[in-house]
């Protein structure tokens, strides 16, 4: 188990991690999510032992992780950390880059493992290609195979799919996270992408300005977002004043995802269409409602600008989605 206790860290007197406390169960997948600059990479570096903490402690399986001031070789031996920048050998092939980290004793076994990992990253066809001739996204996939080859107990990944095109991303993350579950590798990963969190994390840590502001399952955070910041990590969210809804008596704001609203002739809200954006299987419609509030809704058809439409909303959700400003 990973245990992070009341960690405080500062870069040049600027507090970057503030009283961070959480634990991660063995074999589980935990994502760290939050806006750019909130401290995700710094937290991963602290867990790996690359930073000297101001306060607090970090333990992996009851063994304290110490920073560079106490360690000649920074970085915990049972963990592997894949930073945003890669450290591949450019003049050797993809296979050689992976094999470098496998045992040389049993060459047949090492060949099989290399092939297995090439399959996980969907790069069997590139086995003999030199790394210098790969694209940024392909290099990122090789770097992933390299850290998997080292069979860490705890894998720390920083934005592991950020250079990978959407076309490959879905299959790749299924392959990687299935592989990690199969090998019972605990994984802590930083991401901007809510799909990484929703589909692949057992637990989500939400950070803002160096603080951990939520620690829950992705389902719980999506269904009952405690504030606008957390709801908008998933997708565009409607932030509507409570006074708009006749069912509500309390003040505050109501967070509703556009997909939860419906265009319906008996809808209780009347809005005016401002702009329609084509989104593949639907149009994303920006509208203006009472009090000049913006309201987003999905529509099957393109709607004329300035037309008036009626919107229905899930009445049973209103109370649950009411939060304070």
Q: Which residues bind ligand ATP (CB under 6 A)?
A: 11-12, 16, 36-42, 190
* Least spacing, CB of residue 136 vs ligand ATP, in Å: 16
Integer Cα distance of 231 and 245 in angstroms: 20
In the chain, beta strands by DSSP E: 2-11, 14-24, 29-33, 55-60, 63-64, 79-82, 154-158, 186-191, 203-208, 211-216, 238-241, 253-256, 262-263, 269-278, 283-288, 294-299, 308-312, 322-323
Which tokens go with 214?
A: 């939520």
Specify the residue, 36 or 166, whose C-beta has the smaller distance to ligand ATP: 36
**Which residue's CB is nearer to ligand ATP, number 115 or number 211?**
211
Residue 190 or residue 276: which is nearer to ligand ATP going by CB? Answer: 190
Based on CB atoms, which residue is closest to ligand ATP, 40 or 113?
40
Q: What would you report as the CA-atom Rg of the chain, rounded to the nearest whole angstrom?
A: 23
Beta-bridged to residue 312, according to DSSP, are: 262
Q: At what angle do helices 166-182 and 136-149 cross, to 10 degrees?
A: 0
Q: How far is the CB of 81 from ligand ATP (least distance, A)?
A: 13
| Smallest distance, ligand ATP to C-beta of residue 195, A | 16
> Among residues 44 and 309, whose Cβ is nearest to ligand ATP?
44
Two tokens at 277?
């954006």
Bridge partners of 240, per DSSP, are 254
Answer whether 281's CB lies under 8 Å from 247's CB.
Answer: no
Identity of the residue, 40 or 76, whose beta carbon is nearer to ligand ATP in the bound complex: 40
Q: Smallest distance from the beta carbon of 8 to ligand ATP, in angstroms?
A: 14
Give 312's contacts (C-beta < 8 A, 6+ positions apart): 261, 262, 264, 266, 267, 268, 269
- Closer residue to ligand ATP (CB): 169 or 310: 169
Q: Provide, rounded to whole angstroms, the least separation between the CB of residue 11 and ligand ATP.
A: 3
Residues near 211 by Cβ (< 8 Å), separated by ≥ 6? 18, 19, 20
Q: Least distance (Å) from ligand ATP to the CB of residue 229?
A: 14
Q: Least separation, in Å, of the C-beta of 246 and ligand ATP?
A: 41
For residues 245 and 318, is the Cβ–Cβ distance under 8 A?
yes
């Amino acid at each position: 188990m990973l245990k992070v206790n009341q960690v405080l860290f500062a870069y040049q007197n600027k507090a970057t991690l503030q009283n961070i406390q959480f634990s991660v169960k063995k074999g589980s997948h935990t994502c760290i999510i939050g806006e750019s600059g909130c401290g995700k990479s710094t937290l991963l570096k602290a867990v790996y032992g690359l930073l000297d903490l101001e306060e607090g402690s970090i333990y992996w399986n009851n063994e304290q992780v110490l920073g560079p001031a106490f360690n000649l070789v920074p970085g915990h031996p049972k963990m592997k950390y894949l930073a945003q920048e890669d450290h591949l050998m450019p003049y050797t092939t993809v296979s050689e880059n992976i094999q470098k980290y496998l045992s040389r004793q049993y060459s047949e076994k090492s060949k099989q493992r290399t092939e297995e990992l090439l399959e996980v990253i969907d790069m069997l066809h590139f086995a003999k290609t030199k790394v210098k001739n790969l694209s940024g996204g392909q290099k990122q996939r090789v770097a992933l195979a390299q850290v998997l080859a080292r069979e860490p107990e705890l894998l720390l990944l920083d934005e592991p799919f950020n250079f990978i095109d959407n076309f490959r991303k879905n299959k790749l993350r299924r392959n990687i996270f299935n592989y990690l579950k199969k090998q019972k590798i605990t994984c802590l990963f930083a991401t901007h992408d809510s799909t990484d969190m929703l589909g692949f994390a057992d637990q989500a840590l939400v950070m803002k300005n160096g603080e951990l502001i939520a620690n829950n399952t992705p389902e719980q955070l999506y269904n009952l977002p405690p504030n606008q910041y957390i709801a908008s990590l998933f997708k565009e969210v409607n932030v509507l004043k409570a006074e708009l809804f006749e069912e509500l008596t309390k003040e505050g704001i109501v967070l509703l995802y556009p997909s939860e609203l419906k265009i319906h002739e008996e809808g209780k809200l009347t809005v005016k269409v401002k702009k329609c954006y084509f989104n593949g299987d639907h149009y994303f419609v920006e509208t203006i409602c009472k009090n000049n509030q913006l309201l987003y809704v999905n529509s099957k058809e393109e709607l004329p600008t300035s037309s008036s439409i009626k919107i229905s909303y899930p009445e049973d959700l209103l109370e649950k989605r009411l939060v304070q400003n």
